[in-house]
């Protein structure tokens, strides 16, 4: 459970500001959210530099995970293959983290050790995604996720960003800036969906087809 991770990282923050004084800027749901929130509080308890280092480490890991390199293929296999031992997974992750400039922070290693020990390495990508949401909220950033059936042309993304930045959809109390996260989901068939927190606008072809099918079923 994620609760096993919390004592480990919190015990290393003695001598720093009280953890009770630090709370995640947003509430995250699910097990991945618990790991991400524990990591966020632990890093910030040590200081802003530690939070920035942990964020840098996790971004590096995420970039490798999503790339087309041999390291990425090996890493995805180790994270999801149940026949690979926990020791082998830990060594592969440790070697990867050590290969980046400056090496990995202790909290970064602790996070992945806890995920490995608890059999939750398959959550790594979601944990990182949730953690980056926390650090963005910490900086007062609003992240708008745009998901399309295929990568959008730059001309389209520029028009979307220009329109959304000045819209009420992007208005959030205390927001200092707006950032965009683009994802591809072929199941949308065409068009795109826009998500910001619990708000969503679905302009995908799949959504239109689903609505049409629902109308047809009602008319039968």
- Which of 72, 102, 136 marks a domain boundary? 136
Let me know whether 58 and 80 are in one domain.
yes
Q: Parallel, antiparallel, or unpaired: how do β-strands 192-196 and 141-148 relate? A: antiparallel
The length of the chain, given as a count of residues: 220
Cα–Cα dist 78/44, whole Å = 30
Domain encompassing residue 194: 142-219
The span from the CA of 194 to the CA of 26, in Å, is 20
Q: Does 96 lie in the same domain as 42?
A: yes
User: Rounded to an integer, what distance in angstroms lies between the CA atom of residue 209 and that of residue 216?
Assistant: 10
Number of domains in the chain: 2
- CB atoms near residue 38 (< 10 Å): 27
Same domain, 120 and 24: yes
Residue after which a domain boundary falls, among 75, 110, 136: 136
Looking at the fold, whether 211 and 111 belong to one and the same domain comes out as no
Are residues 64 and 167 located together in one domain of the fold? no
Residue 204 DSSP SS3:
coil
pLDDT computed for residue 169 by the predictor: 65
CA distance 100 to 104: 7
Which DSSP string do the residues of 19-83 spell out, in sequence order? GGG---SS---HHHHHHHHHHHHHHHHH-HHHHHHHHHHHHHHHHHHHSSSHHHHHHHHHHH-TT
pLDDT tens-digit series, residues 57-114: 999 888 888 777 776 777 777 777 778 777 777 777 778 777 777 777 888 888 988 8
Question: Tokens standing for 163?
Answer: 């329109």
**Closest-CA residue to 147 (of 157, 134, 137, 155):** 157
Please indicate, yes or no, whether residues 14 and 107 belong to a single structural domain of this protein.
Answer: yes
Task: Summarize the confidence of residues 143-148 as an average pLDDT.
Answer: 87
Do 120 and 159 lie in a common domain? no
The per-residue pLDDT for range 153-191, each reduced to its tens digit, is 898 899 888 888 777 666 664 567 788 888 888 888 888
Kindly state whether residues 9 and 114 are assigned to the same domain.
Answer: yes
Verify that 13 and 39 share a domain, yes or no.
yes
136, 163, 181 - which closes a domain: 136
What digits encode the pLDDT tens for the residues 43-66?
Answer: 999 999 999 999 999 998 888 887
65 and 124 inside one domain: yes
pLDDT above 50: residue 16: no
Residues 69 and 130 placed together within one structural domain of the fold: yes
User: The domain that contains 14 carries what CATH number?
Assistant: 1.10.520.20
The reply to whether 38 and 71 lie within a common domain is yes
């Amino acid at each position: 459970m994620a609760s096993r991770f919390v004592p480990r990282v919190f015990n290393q923050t003695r001598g720093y500001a009280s953890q009770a004084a630090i709370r995640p800027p947003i509430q995250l749901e699910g097990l991945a959210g618990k790991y991400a929130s524990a990591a966020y509080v632990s890093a910030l308890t040590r200081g802003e530099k530690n939070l920035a280092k942990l964020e840098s480490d996790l971004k590096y890991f995420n970039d490798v995970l999503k790339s087309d390199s041999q390291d990425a293929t090996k890493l995805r296999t180790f994270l999801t293959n149940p026949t690979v031992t926990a020791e082998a997974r830990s060594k592969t992750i440790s070697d990867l983290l050590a290969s980046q400039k400056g090496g990995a922070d202790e909290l970064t290693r602790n996070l992945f050790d806890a995920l490995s020990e608890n059999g939750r390495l398959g959550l790594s990508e979601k944990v990182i995604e949730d953690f980056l949401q926390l650090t963005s909220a910490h900086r007062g950033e609003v992240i708008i996720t745009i998901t399309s059936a295929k990568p959008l042309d730059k001309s389209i993304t520029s028009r979307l960003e220009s329109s959304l930045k000045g819209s009420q959809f992007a208005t959030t109390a205390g927001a200092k800036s707006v950032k965009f996260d683009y994802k591809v989901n072929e199941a949308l068939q065409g068009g795109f969906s826009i998500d910001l927190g619990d708000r969503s606008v679905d302009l995908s072809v799949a959504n239109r087809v689903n609505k049409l099918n629902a109308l047809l079923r009602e008319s039968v």
